Structure 1
Amino acid sequence: MTTLRHQDLNFGSIKEVDGSSIILHANFLERECGGIKLCAEVGAYVNCGGAHGDTICNISKVQISEVEKTIRTDNGLEIVREERKIVTLSILGSATHGKFRRGTKRLPTINCEAYFLSSDQLNCLIGIDLREDKEHFCVTDDSDDDQTYLNLDKLMGRHVAILGTTGSGKSCTVASIMQSILLSYDCPRILFFDIHDEYPSAFGYNENTPSALFKEKTNSIPWSKFSLPYWFLDLEEFFGVYNLEPGSNQKAIIKRLITKLKEDEAKSEGLLNIVVSADTPVYFNVDALVDELENEKNSQTNTTNKKPYESLLLKLQAVRQDTRYSFLHREIDSKLSIVDYFKFILGLDESESYLNILDLSGLPTEVRAVCVGVISRLCFDFKYWDLDPENIPLNLVLEEAHAYIPEEKDSKYNISKERVERIAKEGRKYGIGLTVVTQRPSNVSTTVLSQCGTYISLRLTNDLDQNKIKRLLPDTLESQVDFLPSLRDGEAFVSGDSINLPRKVQFKVPNPMPRSNDVRYHKSWKLGKPDSYSLKALVESWHKQDKSE
């Protein structure tokens, strides 16, 4: 077993201890062992080893202060100034039988020695043997001196938050992690909510950077083929999508008629022994619903009684005829079943796909939150009714999460927040996890973020966002938030259940890249528009609401 107290790496002794931090006076700020130089820098790992055992810490602050000392010389007493090297440590855990464990039973004592920890010692502490350990996968480049491994079970099963301001490399980090998973595991199951249609190119859907290896495992569902049949909506979601007012009269009318239509359909299809309600995912014809409402309205003799029907008809017909909502009615002729829908969005047909990307870029802004909530709820129900959660563990990637699960209280986000928050709180036991991706963590539901077991924090410059992260991280890691504004592109501070030791990680560059690169103004403004540019084609795509051409 590699010793954690190498004398060549001894650099100081402890002078102050409290519940979460340690202050030591350093004799050296640099030490060298085996040709490798280790420095007292923020984020470096240290072992405080003494009679109490081994306490693993990392450096949160380094400073030099001047103190005055009175010394006796041949000329009498003289006051001299002396530099004192002061290093502040944050306690992470302890080493038990040579392996890292969170928390510590006994704190170090005064004058206990402190030792730098080398990469070999850290790897020994983490104790990952990739020949036997299939839970971990590597997220750093092969040439990186400091290889970092994440525990897949804890990363996906206990939810993960990927946070970073725009331009910090957030999209590349997400793509890098997903590529690493696809390379490390044969049969993952991931559903990607892609708000800006930027991720298909990272998985082989780009003629300029093709990748057969990723493409054969991935199903990219373009906006032109995306559907969310209205008959899968529960009653609350139906009112949200069709902009209906959930007044007592209207809700009762719609509930009664939809239930009747679904019961009739179930009988005609021979679906016996099922419990049919307005929430059951069974087909019904929305045009038949309109006809039923029209007939009931005409049967009313009182103008006041006709009013709820008129309002319902107006809104139902408006959405039915609105081309922006065509995704609700695309499968109306096929009467798509819930079985076939799950095959479609989760890649469960014979030619299985393991990363399924939903292009939601064409969704109307006012209905995007509801649609994300509906699909999340369907996926939760899918896992809830699966008797064995290990059959098909599922992870949902929520890109731009602040756009549909915000912290603010607004009725238009109620459905998406309630559905996603339920997964955050209960999903672990049913085998469904969340990957929450956002550039504004201060605007995202605290309920969701607080349930995340792993935080991957890229560069964050906004103080509100930094404070939100500081409140979510353990007290011992609060000081680490201070260096988030200075992180490089693609570099993140990773902490939580999936990583043995919290650390800064430079994620490997994804290959291929997502379509999220900064626009090269200098090139375009120097050379002008390309010869193939067509304003007519642009407007045609605009009219069709289709960016695939």
Structure 2
Amino acid sequence: MTTTLREEALKFGKIKEVDGAEIILHADVLEREFSGTKLCAEVGAYVNCGGSHGNTICTINKVQITEVEKTKRTEDGIEIVREERKVVTLTILGCAIHGKFSRGTKRLPTINCDTYFLSSTQVNQLIGIDLEENKEHFCVTDISDDNQTYLNLDKLMGRHTAILGTTGSGKSCTVASIVQSILSNYECPRILFFDIHNEYPSAFGHNPDSPHESFKSRTNSITWSEFSLPYWFLDLEEFFGVYNLEPGSNQKAIIKRLITKLKEKEAKTQEIDNIIVSADTPIFFDIDTLLENLNDEKDSHKNATDKKPYESIILKIQAVRHDTRYSFLHRKIDDKTSIVEYFEFILGLGENEKYLNILDLSGLPAEVRAVCVGVISRLCFDFKYWDLDPENIPLNLVLEEAHTYIPEESDSKYNIAKERVERIAKEGRKYGVGLTIVTQRPSNVSTTVLSQCGTYIALRLTNDLDQNKIKRLLPDTLAGQVNFLPSLRDGEAFVSGDSINLPRKVQFKVPNPMPRSNDVKYHRSWKLGKPSEYSLSSLMDSWYKQDKSK
């Protein structure tokens, strides 16, 4: 076992410049071989600046060869000689204390301090993960990978995570790979997916062509045809957002009074005692009765001006009530679904527990998607807020395509989702609610949410706006690492933050089964033509009914 971080055979240069955040060294060689493995001075590699100050762990940020002109005296006089100088730029990550990595440094390296490559064995020693003792760690790389990478589950799920990458970089596969690793290592996780494109059920056994009974038995895939968000769970602000009402007018006072009255009546019917009933209390009320009460009050007024707010409310509520795109709001009216039953439904808390719950929101109208994500996020936060012990059922919400409902710009139609998700980002850690933000456009996602993330998993990013956003979010010492993001392979990411001991490039293991997110195979379709069972009328039927479940 390696006991030193200063192997003589791995010495490769001396420090020539230290400015606090960056170290410049002149290398004697750019390659060394140790224990049959060749180590190179490449961007992202780890090195140790070891001297009288201690051991400072750094990562290589830049490698270059410069030409230096020197004068040399010869028999014929003075001759100008060109010499190559191998210059390596390092970024300080932390230091080694008793052989284990620690963030930050007490003393910086000194000039002419020796620098050593670090082998994978030495890096693993620095990280110091013993799966028998450190059960909060789990592996996310393939078993055959030389550089095994472990993430800290508590910090990954509890301190929020951002998974960022351009389309086609492997975001969905990375998300699926991480969640599969969690399911394989932990018996009772509790994860809720907001699946915008219905691509994740197939990654967890809900695909006859690639079955996986172990994942499937612990996963609840809620299809669009089964998804519901009963309107009586909306608070007053959300109700106005969904039904397109005008919160700035006296409509709010009318609706608040009538809904509170209906909920108080229902509480008595259900014999729910000793509760404070308001318009925000998650108790059933009949929306058709609400419409009747509105009509009765409208008819009681003789003045057209007094009738006008009632007419507006009635028309808008009826428009949504009878719109098939909003059927998910009204599916459970006859059942009078309680909030307990709903949490059992979306969080898998019933007798037959499900630990991964995937909400298919692919059929959700784009204009109301933000409200729905916001409402369910708020319900989950309230669920944990009122739980006296945050460790009872810690939750993690996976927000796919986050830029479509928690954008950076201010727009009233996104306010509900942004406010609810930003609240979780700022306060959720204390109550056991974590976020996993997944997006291909980090520059378009709320900075409030991204800045609260403790771990960043950055896959290939080619857009300069997105890269600059990541640079601003990462510590100054790591901002230079963003420069290689455009050249990352599919499924490869730069991982930094609380959940990983040493920031590094990670090739996540390929998920098995795969999510339904592969690129469309144009070559095959354009060779073979449309399938024999293809039906344009079925397509139009789904379009007309706004139903993607067929």
TM bucket by the smaller chain? over 0.9
Q: How far apart in 2 are the matches of 1:204 and 1:441? A: 30
In the alignment, which residue of structure 1 is the partner of 2:42? 41
TM-score normalised over the length of structure 1? 0.99
Are the aligned partners of 2:458 and 2:494 in contact in 1 as well (CA < 8 Å)? yes
Q: How far apart in 2 are the matches of 1:110 and 1:60? A: 19
Which deviates more from structure 2 when the two are superposed, residues 171-180 or residues 72-81?
72-81
In the alignment, which residue of structure 2 is the partner of 1:376? 377
Letter in 2 for 1:64: I
In the alignment, which residue of structure 1 is the partner of 2:205? 204
In the alignment, which residue of structure 1 is the partner of 2:536? 535
In the alignment, which residue of structure 2 is the partner of 1:390? 391
Letter in 2 for 1:484: L
Give 1:529 shift: 1.2
Give 1:546 shift: 2.6
> What are the residue-to-residue correspondences of 1:225-374 with 2, within 5 Å?
225-374=226-375
Residue 137 of structure 1 aligns to a residue whose secondary structure is: strand
In the alignment, which residue of structure 2 is the partner of 1:547? 548
In the alignment, which residue of structure 2 is the partner of 1:221? 222
Give 1:501 shift: 0.3
Q: How far apart in 2 are the matches of 1:71 and 1:495? A: 48
Q: How far apart in 1 are the matches of 2:10 and 2:78? A: 36
Are the aligned partners of 2:190 and 2:393 in contact in 1 as well (CA < 8 Å)? yes
Tell me, which stretches of 5 or more residues in structure 2 are unaligned? none
Give 1:544 shift: 3.2
Superimposed CA distance per residue, residues 219-278 of structure 1 (whole angstroms, 9 cap, x where no aligned partner): 000000000000000000000000001123100000000000000110111011000000
Indicate yes or no: 2:125 matched with 1:131: no
Q: How far apart in 1 are the matches of 2:75 and 2:406? A: 74
Give 1:96 shift: 0.4
Which deviates more from structure 2 when the two are superposed, residues 386-395 or residues 528-537?
528-537
Superimposed CA distance per residue, residues 111-162 of structure 1 (whole angstroms, 9 cap, x where no aligned partner): 0000000000000000001122111000000111111000000000000000
Identity of aligned residues (%): 81
Residue 225 of structure 2 aligns to a residue whose secondary structure is: helix
Indicate yes or no: 2:521 matched with 1:524: no
Which deviates more from structure 2 when the two are superposed, residues 10-19 or residues 72-81?
72-81
Q: How far apart in 1 are the matches of 2:298 and 2:541? A: 41
Letter in 1 for 2:440: Q
Letter in 2 for 1:290: L
In the alignment, which residue of structure 1 is the partner of 2:507? 506
Letter in 2 for 1:171: S
Residue 86 of structure 1 aligns to a residue whose secondary structure is: strand
Residue 319 of structure 2 aligns to a residue whose secondary structure is: helix
Letter in 2 for 1:371: C
Superimposed CA distance per residue, residues 500-531 of structure 1 (whole angstroms, 9 cap, x where no aligned partner): 00000000000110011000101110111122
Superimposed CA distance per residue, residues 333-363 of structure 1 (whole angstroms, 9 cap, x where no aligned partner): 0100000000000000011000000000111
Residue 482 of structure 2 aligns to a residue whose secondary structure is: helix
Which deviates more from structure 2 when the two are superposed, residues 71-80 or residues 520-529?
71-80
Give 1:26 shift: 0.3
Tell me, which stretches of 5 or more residues in structure 1 are unaligned? none
Q: How far apart in 2 are the matches of 1:409 and 1:544? A: 32
Letter in 1 for 2:429: R
TM-score normalised over the length of structure 2? 0.99
In the alignment, which residue of structure 1 is the partner of 2:426? 425
Q: How far apart in 2 are the matches of 1:23 and 1:359? A: 51
Q: How far apart in 2 are the matches of 1:412 and 1:477? A: 36
Q: How far apart in 2 are the matches of 1:319 and 1:228? A: 14
In the alignment, which residue of structure 2 is the partner of 1:99? 100
Letter in 1 for 2:338: S
Superimposed CA distance per residue, residues 462-517 of structure 1 (whole angstroms, 9 cap, x where no aligned partner): 00000000000000111100000000000000000000000000000001100110
Letter in 1 for 2:201: P
Q: How far apart in 1 are the matches of 2:296 and 2:236? A: 22
In the alignment, which residue of structure 2 is the partner of 1:54? 55
Q: Number of aligned pairs?
A: 549
Q: How far apart in 2 are the matches of 1:140 and 1:545? A: 40
Letter in 2 for 1:3: T
Q: How far apart in 2 are the matches of 1:360 and 1:46? A: 46
Letter in 2 for 1:461: T
Letter in 1 for 2:546: Q
In the alignment, which residue of structure 2 is the partner of 1:457? 458
Give 1:547 shift: 2.4
Q: How far apart in 1 are the matches of 2:386 and 2:443? A: 34
In the alignment, which residue of structure 2 is the partner of 1:484? 485
Q: How far apart in 2 are the matches of 1:530 and 1:233? A: 44
Indicate yes or no: 2:64 matched with 1:76: no
Q: How far apart in 2 are the matches of 1:69 and 1:422? A: 62
Q: How far apart in 1 are the matches of 2:149 and 2:533? A: 44
